[in-house]
Amino acid sequence: MMNDLPAFVRQQREQHGLSIREAARRAGISEGGWRLIEQGAGNHAEDTIARVQSVIAAGFPHEAPPGDRQELASLVRSKRLALGLTQEDIAAAGGPSVATIRNIENGTADCRPRTLRQLMGVLEEAELDPPASGSAFGQRVRSARLANGWTTEDAAARGGISRKTWERIEAGQSARMLSLRAVAKAFDSPAGLIARAYHGEMDLNEALTSPSRPLDPPPGDFEALALLIPKLELHELNRLSDMVSTAIAIRSGGL
C-alpha cells in the first residue's frame, strides 16, 4: 500500500461528505475494512484496495453501473435454473432472502460481497452434489408422505422448500443434496441415511424409521457429548454449532 494512501482515502471521503459506513457500502467492503485502510493498519487484499481506489476515481457513485448488475442477474438466474432450484430453495438452504435474490436477478439492486458469497456458496454446493436417478426414490417419498396424511404443501413446508421442488422429487427428477436434506427434515430423519436411500444403498422406509439422534445429553455429561459429536450428521452438527454460538453469546453478555 502506498504510504500516502490512508490520508488520500480519508481526504476524498470527507470531501464528498460521506461517513465511513456509507463510503464502505459504496465500495462494497466492510466498514471496519475501510476504517483500517484510513488508519494505515493491517494488510489488505489487492482486490480490497482496488475497490477503494475505483470507487474514489468514480466519484463515489451510489450504485454499480447497470451493466454490471444485469450481468450478475443473468449469471445468478441461469445458474439457479440450471440446477433446478427456486428462489425459495436457495433462501431455505442458507442463502439470502427471497426478496434479495429476486432483486439481484431482476438487476434492480447491488449485491454486496458478503451477500454474493452467501448466494454463490449455496449454488456451488448444489452444483457439487452428485446427480442420480430418483424415480424409485420419488415413489417411496410419495408413499411415505401419503402415509402421514400430508399434502405436497404440508411436506414442502416441513422440509423448508417450495411445493414445486417437492413435486419434482416425487416425480423422480434428479434430487440434489439440498433436496435430500429437505426430505430428511420433513420426516425428522438423518440426512445421511436419506442420501443412502436415494443412491440405493438402503431402503427408504428403514431410513425414515431411524429417528434423528438427540442433541441434548444429560446436564453436565460432557463425556457423553464428546462421544456423540463424531456420530452426528452434518445438519445436526450445524444445529449444535448454532446452539453453542448462542450459549457463548449469552454467557459473554452478547445477547
DSSP string, 223-246: HHHHHHGGG--HHHHHHHHHHHHH
Specify if 35 maps to a domain: yes
Specify if 83 maps to a domain: yes
Q: What is the pLDDT of residue 151?
A: 93
Residue 118's domain comprises 66-128
Mean pLDDT, each 10-residue run in order, the chain (255 residues): 74 83 79 84 71 73 56 82 79 82 81 76 66 69 90 91 86 73 87 79 79 48 65 72 66 52
Q: What is the pLDDT of residue 218?
A: 47
Specify if 97 maps to a domain: yes
pTM listed for this prediction: 0.41
Q: Is the CB of residue 229 less than 8 Å from the CB of residue 237?
A: yes
Specify if 106 maps to a domain: yes
Element (H, E) at 89: helix 87-92
Q: What is the pLDDT of residue 215?
A: 42
Specify if 158 maps to a domain: yes
Specify if 229 maps to a domain: yes
Count of domains forming the chain: 4
Q: What is the pLDDT of residue 150?
A: 92
Which of these three, 128, 147, 169, is where a domain ends?
128
Claim to verify: residue 141 and residue 161 sit in the same structural domain: yes
Specify if 11 maps to a domain: yes
